[in-house]
Every structure is written in C-alpha cells, then in structure tokens.
Chain A
C-alpha cells in the first residue's frame, strides 16, 4: 500500500495551537504543500502577522520574520526588495490586513510588490477574543457588537478581494474557501497560481481564504464550517477576480 496523503515536509511536525476545527490549520498545510511543490523550502522568507496565526514560525520550516500588527505587507516589501530572488509571502488575518493594515496592503498591492499574500477572513478578531472585524457580517454578534453588527454605526463587511482587484498594481486576486473537500481542492489550485505568479516574476498575488473560527463564532466546528457556505459565500463570492498574464512589470 502506498501512502497517498502525508504531512508536507515544510510543515514542522508539532501540534498546532489552534482551536479544534479552526481552518487556520488547513490553510497552513496548503501553504506548506506549495512550498514543497515548488521546492521553496530553502528560498522562502515568510512574514508572520499578529493574530491567531502569529506562531506561523513554529510550523513552517522556513525563515520567518514577525511583523508588527497590520504591517506585514510593508515588512514583506522591505524583505522582497532586499532579496528579490527569494520567495516572500505574508499570512494575515482580517483584523491585521483589513483593519489596522489597510494602508499597507493597499499600497503594497498598488506598487505591485512581487509578494504573495495569504489572507484569512474569519469575520472576527480571533486572537484577542472575538471582537468585530471589518469583515464581520451584518447582524453578527461579537464581543464588541453585542447586539449584532449594525451597518449604520459599525459599517459594512468589507470585501477585500474586490478592493484588491480594483487596484491597477495587482496581478492575481482570488477568494477561496476550505469548508468542504471540493472547495478545498479548488483552493489548492488557486493558491498554486498565486505562488506561480510570484515565482514567474509576474507581480502581486492575493488569495482570500474564508475561514471558520468556531470559538469566537460560539459554534461547533461542524456548524461553523457549514456557516461558510450558508452565510459567507453568498456575500463573499468565491472565484478568481483578476488574473493578469502580462509579465507583472
């Protein structure tokens, strides 16, 4: 019998600190698979952000730099400009990227930095205990929207992939989910294209993952995973929003 599914090599063999059923684990594995696939273990520099994924460096068998909250895209800009032949990615939550880090992601994208951004949208601030994120859905209860997010005062869930696609500087922009095997397989393929965008020197690539946070959604992992298809996908449609084959710059 042959082993047809195994742990990617780039994923250090230690247990994740994530909560049961958290999709961060799946997304970490997909990133590691790509590092393996494109033989990037020796040339990758990862930029970890602040959020539940801050321990990225404990899990990825590559060089990692920790960025201040929200600034991963600026940090990655510095890294990539200094080391243009390395593969550079950021891994950021929706608080990190779409709230405090808005200016940094918009301008890194607009400059067309040759980096790959893995963006995890779980509609809450996970690490800090479930406060509202810019992506929190209308009516969703969080610890800072105890009566549900009300657009009149708290604004609307922001669609980052769409905003990114609007910027001239971006080359590849997509939104995926890993809530069922079908979506997950598609996410894999999309993530590969994002990696290839950078590897081929074509510019800025951005993949938004819809992700479950059972803990802060106060749902069972199963219920949380189903919520993605039921509530999130209708508002945050999946797909490739932009794929520019011109040689980036």
Chain B
C-alpha cells in the first residue's frame, strides 16, 4: 500500500511529529510505501533545522530527511503555511534541509495517488 502522511503540528507543540516519523518508519519496515509527507500549518517548522535544541529531544528535521532520501519520497512543505510563518524566502529555507514547497493541487494529487491518507 501507498500511504500519504500529513503533519500539522510543530515539533515543540506536541508529540505528534515524532509519532508521524515513527509511523512512517513502520510503514516502510512493514513493506509498504510512503508516497510523501505534507507539512501543513505549524507542521512547516519541521523543515527548520535546529528548532528543538533542547536536551533529550530529538531534532526531527534530519530524521525526516534521512528517511525521505533512503525511501525516495518527497517532503512537501505547504507553500501558504510556510509563507505565513517564515519571513523572507521560505523556498530557500526549505531547500536547505531537503524539503520542497508544494501547493494544494500537488497536495491533492498525492492524496489521490495514495491508498491511505493519515494526518498527525
């Protein structure tokens, strides 16, 4: 099965970001595929490395990047959400960490191409 994952919460606002990452890892290790991750609303902060520089708390940005590269799926950052939150050129910021900006048409195409859509 192809699973599309939406992440809507910031790395510090809840534990759901880590749960989404673990979920994606389990999808892959169980023999299914992730066809992309869409970072929406406060989820766009996952594209900003070093966001959670707190002792004992994992930096999810590089973990997402690592998984996406090894499994060849895209990390899509919602363009509208990012532009509302990041001053200046959010595309540059996203690029740096292996994420890319996406519009809602692209989002809906990934939803349609997946067998399941799940949101964290």
The reply to whether chain A is a binding partner of chain B is no
Using CB atoms and an 8 Å cutoff, list the residues of chain A in contact with chain B.
Answer: none
